[in-house]
Structure 1
Amino acid sequence: MMSDTDLIKLYSARILALAADIPHLERLDAPDATVKRRAPLCGSTVTVDIKLTDGRISAYGQDVKACALGQAAASVVGSHIIGCTRDQIEAARDALLAMLKSDGPTPPAPFDGLEVLRPARDYKNRHASIMLTLEATLEAIDSATKTACA
């Protein structure tokens, strides 16, 4: 059971501010791909719509139904996703997972704001929710790429 001190540390003012200000909450009318991901343990869900232009995210929409940590991750990702390539998003996903699982380095720019979630490394039951947005975005890119090549 978390103590009050642990909860205060985990749900910092910065995390709560990010959760309250998630960009790109409008779904796209005609996305190249849409992916919905769910974290089985907590039930958090994220639905991501993307448009790709020349291998970069050119439009992005998201519907986030997650805890404050998942919302904060969606906020950081949404703030910096436009213009990013699959490689940048994959590097952020891999670094975020390493940061949470083994106290690895902060994800690279432009996703270095995910550092705010480092205190969640001790709460493994929150990791899946935090990872949802990046994982859904990568899956959407893969889906859009396959569709474009078909």
Structure 2
Amino acid sequence: MSDADMMQLYSKRILALAADIPHLGKIEDAQGSAMKRSPQCGSTVTAHVRLQDGRIAGFGQEVRACALGQASAGVLGQGVMGATREEIAKGAEQLRAMLKEAGPVPDAPWDGLEVLIPAREYPNRHASILLSWHAALDAIDQADVQSTAQR
């Protein structure tokens, strides 16, 4: 990878998102938590959720990833509150398609993921970029199982 490619990949906008990830850390009243790890680079993301009426009412994330994975977690964190599992799954699928199939930028509130378009050319980074989304979805699924068991 050339220096110019690296500079484009780690643009100021990506670094700004990575430096200001919303909802960092655990939440004490989480109903579901899930950790995902990328075997390619060792990045990890743990997501914690609390649901109310099928929507995210509490969210925390522990992000140990490259700047691209952190930027993706930042965009997720900006739009996650009040979202349903279906909305997050749609955003994750649109992000995957944007990266792997040159698909369009995800719909709002995930349209900030546009900053990651240059990462299309680096498939070895895709897993890290998708980690926060997969962790959030698994945490929601865990919260749903716990909620069902308590009924």
TM-score (norm 1): 0.97
Q: Offset at 1:8?
A: 0.8
3-state secondary structure, aligned to 2:73: helix
Partner of 1:58: 57
Alignment of 1:1-150 (within 5 A): 2-150=1-149
Distance in 1 between residues matched to 2:70 and 2:8, nearest whole Å: 17
Distance in 1 between residues matched to 2:25 and 2:94, nearest whole Å: 27
- Give the counterpart letter for 2:9 in structure 1: L
Unaligned 5+ segments in structure 2 are none
Q: Offset at 1:26?
A: 2.6
- Give the counterpart letter for 2:11 in structure 1: S
Unaligned 5+ segments in structure 1 are none
Runs of 4+ in 1 over 6 A off after TM superposition: none
- Percent sequence identity is 56
Give the paired residue count: 149
C-alpha RMSD of the superposition: 0.7
- Give the counterpart letter for 1:79 in structure 2: Q
TM-score (norm 2): 0.97
- Give the counterpart letter for 2:93 in structure 1: D
Distance in 2 between residues matched to 1:26 and 1:126, nearest whole Å: 23
- Give the counterpart letter for 2:87 in structure 1: Q
